[in-house]
A and B are shown apart, each in its own frame.
Chain A
Amino acid sequence: GAGVSQSPSNKVTEKGKDVELRCDPISGHTALYWYRQSLGQGLEFLIYFQGNSAPDKSGLPSDRFSAERTGGSVSTLTIQRTQQEDSAVYLCASSPGLSPTYNEQFFGPGTRLTVL
């Protein structure tokens, strides 16, 4: 497809379980971002990948959260031992690269995570 895709669209899990969220960026985009959107909390930065550089993990809220990006394309966000406060919409975005002209981000539809 032409846009950023995320799967699953909805995920309901039990407290303490691990979950994996997937993001397929637009082909050729070198930058990939994960954000979390909670009710009333706005858009919280989680992690940023740019090309082959080491990812900026400064936004990950705890060591239960991790992300990887394989082959500079698909990314997976993993949350271990989920807690109820992890419930949110997880958004992925990609952008073409470093040129100022290409700073615009393209967002996926998000994965709504509910931890019971």
Chain B
Amino acid sequence: AQSVAQPEDQVNVAEGNPLTVKCTYSVSGNPYLFWYVQYPNRGLQFLLKYITGDNLVKGSYGFEAEFNKSQTSFHLKKPSALVSDSALYFCAVRDGNRDDKIIFGKGTRLHILP
């Protein structure tokens, strides 16, 4: 069965600095990987996904994520953080070889400090 881990409950970054939110996964087949964001009092929104192709995936709001097969990681990154990026971020995985469910990590709360 697939699983996903977000090792950090919270990440604090100063505005303007680069940010990284970590995610590692385990899946028996080809991984389909996703990042979602949940702003306060709003629903989950899709940010980006990796299905196949380039390891660096670009998504909404200037975010990108790097797929690393050898390290089974899919860390979310942004070169310059904004205060408005403060939110709860979820990594998710699906086994691409199976008609299977999407499993989410427990989430990482990102605080961007002004």
Neighbouring A residues of B107 by C-beta, 8 Å? 42-43
Binding site for B on A (CB under 8 A): 33, 35, 41-43, 45, 48, 50, 53, 56, 58-59, 91, 93, 98, 100-101, 103-110
Neighbouring B residues of A41 by C-beta, 8 Å? 106
Count of interface residues, chain B, beta-carbon cutoff 8 Å:
23
Per-residue 0/1 for B77-114: is the Cβ within 8 Å of any A Cβ (1 yes, 0 no)? 00000000000001000101001111111110000000
The answer, yes or no, to whether B14 is at the interface (CB within 8 Å) is no
- Given the complex of chains A and B, what is the CA–CA distance between A14 and B90 in angstroms? 31
Neighbouring A residues of B100 by C-beta, 8 Å? 48, 56
Given A50-B99, A100-B52, A104-B34, 15 new contacts (CB under 8 A): A42-B90, A43-B105, A43-B107, A45-B102, A48-B101, A58-B101, A59-B101, A98-B99, A100-B51, A101-B51, A103-B102, A105-B34, A105-B44, A107-B44, A110-B43
Contact of A56 among B34, B51, B101 (CB under 8 A): B101
Neighbouring B residues of A108 by C-beta, 8 Å? 43
Closest CB of chain A to B97's CB: distance in Å? 11
